[in-house]
Amino acid sequence: MEWVTKSASAQAEAIAAGDLCPMELTEAYLEAIKAHPAGTRIYARLTEGRALDEAMAARDRAKAGLRAGPLDGVPVSWKDLFDTAGVATEGGSALLAGRVPQEDAEVLQAMTRAGTICLGKTHQTEFAYSGLGLNPVTATPPCINDAGAVPGGSSSGAAASVAFGLAGAAIGSDTGGSVRVPAAWNDLVGLKTTAGRLSLRGVVPLAPNFDTVGPLARSVEDCALVLACMEARPAPDLRGAALAGRHFLVLDGAPFEDIRDLPAQGFESAVTKLELAGARITRARLSVIDEVLALSAIIYTPECYAQWRDVIETAPEKMFPPVLERFRSGAAHLASDYIAAWAALMRHRAAYLEQVAGYDGVLLPTAANMPPEAQRLMDDHAYFTTENLLTLRNTRIGNLLGLCAMTVPTGVPSVGISVMGAPMSEDRLLRMGVAIEASLG
C-alpha cells in the first residue's frame, strides 16, 4: 500500500475524505513491520491487538463523520520510554527488562483520545543517554541513508519507523538532541518542544529538567498536528507562511567547530535558499554560547546519574560500557558546583534571549557530523566518545538554553538545518518551519 510512505497529514486528509480506511492502513503497517528485514531492529515490540481495536474504532468514527482529532486513524510509533498499560516499557535497557506499567503515559492518553493508533514501541539507546543510536544491549536500528551507519539517537527506532515507511509519525523524546539528531540523519522533520510544555507523566526519565516530548515526521505540518493532538487543542494555522521579511541569525562559532564537509555544505546551501526566498541573514558569534556549552557536563551528568544510580549499580555489567561510563561521570561533581552552574545557566539564558530578541529565529547545523559507522563505534571506545559529543553539541545548545527548536531536511542526505525559537513559541516556530521547508523543496 503506497499510503504507508505518505505524510501523516496526507493520510488524515484521505481518511477524512473517505479515500483511506484506518483499518486497512493499520493492517498494512503491521504487515510491513513484520515483513521488513530490520523490523525487529526498529520495533522493540508491537501492540497489534490494541492497534487493530483502535483502527476499527477510527474506521467507525470516520464513517459516522465523528473524527476525534486531525490525525484520527493515523498509526503512530512510540519510543520505548513512554508507558503503555500492560505492555513492557524498558527504556532500551536490560536493567528495566520486564517493566510493565499499569497505565499509559499522559501524552499517549491524549493521542489516543485524539484517535491516533498505537502501533508499538520503538528501540532506543539505553536510558536515552546517547545521541548516536547505537545499542548493542537491545538493538541498533538502521539509518535510511547508510545501512552500516547508526541512525542517531536516542530516538533511533522512532526515526527509522517513519523513514522506512513503518509508521505515519513517531513520538520521541529530546533531552540533548534525541529527536532532532535522528530526524536529521534520516531526512525527517523533528520538533523539540520547550521543557515543561508537555507532560512527562509516564515517561521514563533521564534528566527531568531537560526531558521533552516531541514528534518525528515527514513534514512540518505533521509535527504541528501531533503537537495539537498531544495538547488537545486546534492545530496552529500554517497557511500563508513565508520567509520574506524574516530575519535569521546564523550562530557562528561553536556550532561550526570541527564540522564535517557535507553538513557544512548542506547547511550553507540551505541558507542560500532561504535568502533567495526573501529571508535576511545575519551571522554572529555569541560568547554566551561558549559559556553555556562549558557548563554542559556539570549540568547534565549529575542529574542523569542521580536519576539512575541505584538501578545501575545493582548490575552495571548489563550496560554498554561507554554509556555506563557517561552515567558514572556524574559522580565526579560537587553539589555546590552543580548548584552554582545552574545559577550561571539561568543568567546565560536571560542574556541569550536579550541578544537574539530582534531575530525571528536562530539557525545552525543540526549535527556537525554524518552518521558514523556502527561497527567502528563498537570497536573504538575513544571514537564513540568523540563522535557522541560532536553529534550532540549543536542540539544541546537549545536544551541548555530552554528553547524550542526544529530540524528540517536540507536536501543533502542526513543533513538537517535547525531553527531555534524562544521558549513556548512552538506555533511561531512551526510557521517558520513550513516556510523553510517550502524554500528547501
Enzyme catalytic residues: 79, 154, 178
Contact call for residues 397 and 168 (beta carbons, < 8 A): no
What is the H or E stretch that residue 280 is in?
Answer: strand 280-285
- For residue 151, the 8-state DSSP code is -
- Phi and psi for 120 in degrees, rounded to 5? 160, -170
All 3 cell numbers of residue 36?
521488513
H-assigned helices in 253-357: 261-276, 287-294, 296-312, 321-328, 335-355
Q: Whole-angstrom Cα distance, residue 397 to residue 290?
A: 9
H-assigned helices in 78-173: 106-113, 156-163
CA atoms within 13 A on the CB side of 134: 26
Cβ burial of 310 (10 Å; 0-12, 13-18, 19+) is: exposed
DSSP conformation letters of 154-218? SSHHHHHHHHTTS-SEEEEE-SSSTTHHHHHHTT-EEEEPPTTSS--TTB--S-TTT--EEEEES
All 3 cell numbers of residue 260?
564535517
What is the H or E stretch that residue 103 is in?
Answer: none
Contact call for residues 424 and 404 (beta carbons, < 8 A): yes
- For residue 1, the 8-state DSSP code is -
